[in-house]
Structure 1
Amino acid sequence: MMSKEMNLESIKLSHDNWFAKIEYYLDGHLVPRQDIVVSHSECELGKRFYDEGKEIYGNIRAVKFLEIKHEKLHKIAQYIWDAYNNGDFELAKILYSDMLAVSKRIISIFNEAQEFINDKSEKSNVINF
């Protein structure tokens, strides 16, 4: 998930774009369901995590928390979609606020995990004489 090849900024940009689509949808615009309701394993972060990262980094505490919060984020997106489609616009907006809080925590955890991995990588590259 957090290998040197992984571009953190690319993932954050993808995450921001996803949120922009949800905001656009909540403003009353048509957005395809698949652009909002995406499985936590099918978005950019999820694909990278389940393709390469879980096996390598799944034992890191921050990564375990990241997985839990990330799955929660996508469940909230489903609830937003359902609430909005059922005409409960107020609930959809409340859920969106909750989603923003979860998102901030995910970014924080992601950064914490990235720092841990970078520190561990730097220490393993030290040559002992």
Structure 2
Amino acid sequence: MASKEERNYNETISKLDFEQARIKHVLFKSKIRALLYGANIDTEPVISTTACPLGKWIYEVAIPRIGHLPEVKELEKVHDNMHKVARNLWELYQKGQQEQALEGLNKVDDTAHGLLGLLDAIENKVS
């Protein structure tokens, strides 16, 4: 059962907020794949934790509204790790090691699974 404090936050963060976060995450995964397959797109949202749409959601929506929850702090860490993996893959690609970079997409998928699980846990806690 949610505490009174968590119920109050429920009024400020909606199911739509979480759906938007999930969509932003899917778009991130699409962008990293596109980059590693040679698409000419902006790399900043892929390598920067704060320039990507999910990062903006974390820092502009989640942390200000429900940042006291330990799951939100964990989400921030997992998100940061996701970008570290993406930066490493991008560096491999730039060094001409496209095959190794593409093999590393499994790490992105593994991290993504954890990130989506955290989003679900947070949503369940505040709803």
Higher gyration radius (CA):
1
Matches of 2:42 and 2:90, distance apart in 1: 11
Q: How many residues align?
A: 117
Equivalent position to 1:64, from 68, 73, 76? 73
Change over 3 Å in CA distance of 1:55–1:33 after alignment to 2: closer
Q: Distance in 2 between matches of 1:70 and 1:76?
A: 10
Tell me the C-alpha RMSD between the 2 structures: 2.2
| 2:22 match | 12
Identity of aligned residues (%): 22
1:102 corresponds to 2:111: yes
What's 2:55 paired with?
46
CA apart distance, 1:98 = 0.4
Taking structure 1 as the reference length, the TM-score comes to: 0.77
- Letter paired with 1:101: D
Q: What is the TM-score with the length of structure 2 in the denominator?
A: 0.78
CA deviation string 1:85-105 (max 9, x = no partner): 001223312322101100110
* Residue 114 of structure 1 pairs with residue 114 of structure 2: no
Write out per-residue CA displacement over residues 18-66 of structure 1, whole angstroms, 9 at most, x where no aligned residue: 21122222223333322432x2222222212222432432221211211
Q: Return 91-100 or 66-75, whichever deviates more.
A: 91-100
Write the distance in 2 (CA, Å) between the matches of 1:12 and 1:31.
21
Flag structure 1 segments of 5+ consecutive residues without an equivalent: 119-129
Higher mean C-alpha deviation, range 63-72 or range 91-100: 91-100
Provide the residue aligned with 1:122 in structure 2.
none
Q: Which has the higher contact order (CA 8 A, sep 6+)?
A: 2
